Structure 1
Amino acid sequence: MRSLKAILLLAGSALLVGATVPTPGYTEADFARVRKFDAHVHANIIDPRFLAVAKRDGVELLSINVDYPDFPPLALQATIARQMRTQDAAHFHFATTLSMQGFGTPGWTARTNAALDAAFARGAVAVKVWKNIGMVATDAAGKRVFLDDPRFDGVMAHLEKRGIPLIAHQAEPKNCWLPLDQMTTENDRSYFKAHPEYYMYLHPEEPSYEALMAARDRFVARHPRLAFDGAHMASLEWSVDELARFFDAYPNTVVDLAARMSNLQVQSNADIAKVRAFFVRYQDRILYGTDLTDSPPDPAARAQNPPTTGDFAKEADQVWRADWRYLATPLGQRVEAIKADAKGLDLPREVIDKIYWKNARRFFKLKG
C-alpha cells in the first residue's frame, strides 16, 4: 500500500500535467542581469560614460541620427556614431538618416540612396525620418512635403530591397495641439513651452494632428513590405486603443516607447488592466526606448523630453531603472511628469524579454 505522502506526490504530479505554472515576474533585483535594448537614444558626443553605464546596466543602445536643428550637423552625428561603435560594437548600434536638402530636384533619389548605402556599409542598421517631414520641410518649389509624397517611393523601394527598417517620427504627441493647461504630462508641457516652433496649438495655420496621422497611415499602407518603426508610440501615445487599431491595420509595424512612458502612466492610472492587456496582446510589436540624449553641455539648451539633468550617466541609469520598475514589477513610484504615483504593470517575464530585447534584435536584424 502506498503511503499518504506518495499518494499526495502523485496527485500533485497529475495536477501539473496539462497545467501551466505561471512564471514569476521579474523584480528590481533582476534589472542589471536581464539583457535589455534601448532602441531610441541620441549619442551626440563621444562619451565613454554612456557606454560604461550601458554595459553595467546590461543595455544595448541604438543611437539614432536625426536632422534636428538642436543636434550637431548630420555629418558630425555620423562620425560620432561610427566612433562610438568602434569603441564598443557589442553595446552600440546606430541608425542613419536622410537629408531633405534638394528634395524634389533631379537626382535626389539617386543621391539619397547612395548616401544611405555608404552609411549601411559603415554599420548603420536603420534609417530615421523625422517630424520635419510634414511639419517643416518643403520641396524645391516651396511646397510642404508629407511622408506620403510619392517622391519618397524610390528611396523606400531601395530600403525594402535591402531589408532595412525605417524609423519614423511623424507629428508630435497629441498634447502638442492642446493648451498648456490641458496637456496630460508635465514633460510635454515643458518641451513645447520651450519649443514654440513645434507647439502646434500656437500655429493653427499648420496641418492638424489628424492630417499628419492620415498622411503617415497612407504611407504605411502604400509600403506594406517596409519594416516600419513608429517612433514615440507612433504619436498615438494618448490611447492604447488607437495604437491597437494601428497595429491591427498595419501588421508590418512596430513602435518604440521613447519619451512616452508618462503618457502610458496616465492611462494605466486610469485603467491598469487595460494597459497591461495591451502590452500582453501586442508583445511582439513593442520596442523599449527612452530618447535619452547625450549632448555637449550647453547653458542655452532648451528643455528636452525626457528632461536632462547635467549628469548624463546618472540620468541614464535612473531612467532605465524607473522604466524597469514600471514595466517589469508591480511596485509604485512617484512620477513627476504626471504629478502622481504610478503602479507598475508587472508584465510577465516572456513579455518583458520581448519588449526589452528580442523584438529589437529581430526587427533590426542583429546577430548574436
Structure 2
Amino acid sequence: ELDPVWETAARLRIPVFIHVGDPSEFFEPIDYHNERWLELALYPDRRYQDRARFPRFEELMAERNRLLARHPKVTWVLAHLGWHANDLARLGRMFDSLPNLYSEVGAILYDLGRQPKAAREFMIKYQDRLLFGKDSFQPDEYPYYWRVFETNDEYFDYYRDYHAFWKLYGLGLPDSVLKKLYYGNALKLTAAIPRSGFPKQ
C-alpha cells in the first residue's frame, strides 16, 4: 500500500528514516538470560513476548529487510543501527548488500561502548553510512556519546543503569570519522539542510 510513498521518496531523493521494532531482548522471556530484565520489570509496556499479540523480533526484521530490498532506489536510514548493535557483523552484511542503506547510532550506545574494538573497526569501515541521531532529546545523555565516540576512556558508567549493567569504553574515533558521523553524512543525504552553520568538508 505504501509503495507509491517509497517510489516518490526515491524520485525526489528524500531519505526515509525507518524505525522497526525495539531491542530483541524485549521480545524474549524475562529470565536470567535477558540482559534487559530490569528495564522490562520497570516498564511492562515494553514487553513483546505474547505471541498472540506480537510477532517475533526476527519476523519484524525479515519484513523490514524485504521492504529495503524491494526499493533499492530509496535512501533508507535505519534507526538505532537497526537494533543490530549487538551483532555488527550482521549489519555490516546489510550495508554490503544494500548500497542505499544508512543508519544512525542513537539509543544503542550501551552496546557500542562495551565492545570498543569491534565497534571502532565497524564505525571506521562504514564511516560513510553512519549518522549521529536521536529520536528523543535527552540532554544528560549527550556527554556519554561524546565520551564513547571521542575518547579512549575506560570502564565508565552509562547514564541509565537499567539499560546496561556493564561498563563502557571509549572508541577514540578519528576526527575525520567524527565529522562524517556528526554532520557530514547528514549534509550529503539531505540537500535542503543549510550549509552555513557547518564547517566545510
Shorter-chain TM band: 0.7 to 0.9
Q: What is aligned with 1:321? A: 143
Q: Does 1:278 align with 2:104?
A: no
Q: What is aligned with 1:334? A: 157
Q: Displacement, 1:288?
A: 1.0
Q: Which has the larger radius of gyration?
A: 1
CA 1:291–1:184: 2 relative to 1, 3 Å: farther
Q: Displacement, 1:361?
A: 1.7
**Corresponding residue pairs, total:** 188
The SS at the match of 1:345 is: coil
Q: Displacement, 1:193?
A: 4.5
Q: Could you tell me which runs of 5 or more consecutive residues in structure 2 were left unpaired when the two chains were aligned.
A: 196-201
CA 1:168–1:283: 2 relative to 1, 3 Å: same
Q: What is aligned with 2:8? A: 158
| 2:76 corresponds to which of 228, 246, 254 | 228
Contact 1:329–1:345 under 8 Å retained in 2: yes
Q: TM-score, normalised by structure 1?
A: 0.48
Q: What is aligned with 2:186? A: 360
The SS at the match of 1:255 is: strand
Q: TM-score, normalised by structure 2?
A: 0.85
| 2:33 corresponds to which of 182, 186, 191 | 182
Q: What is aligned with 1:264? A: 112
Determine what percentage of the aligned residue pairs are the same residue.
26
Q: Does 1:200 align with 2:44?
A: no
Q: Could you tell me which runs of 5 or more consecutive residues in structure 1 were left unpaired when the two chains were aligned.
A: 1-150, 294-314
Q: What is aligned with 1:71? A: none
CA 1:191–1:251: 2 relative to 1, 3 Å: farther
CA 1:228–1:191: 2 relative to 1, 3 Å: farther
Q: What is aligned with 1:113? A: none
Give per-residue Cα distances to partners, 1:150-200, cap 9 Å, x unaligned: x111111111122111111012111112233433357xx42674243x421
Contact 1:185–1:263 under 8 Å retained in 2: no
Q: What is aligned with 1:238? A: 86
Q: Which has the higher strand share?
A: 1
Equivalent residues in 2 for 1:44-193, closer than 5 Å: 151-180=1-30, 181-185=32-36, 189-190=38-39, 193=42
CA 1:192–1:364: 2 relative to 1, 3 Å: farther
Contact 1:331–1:344 under 8 Å retained in 2: yes
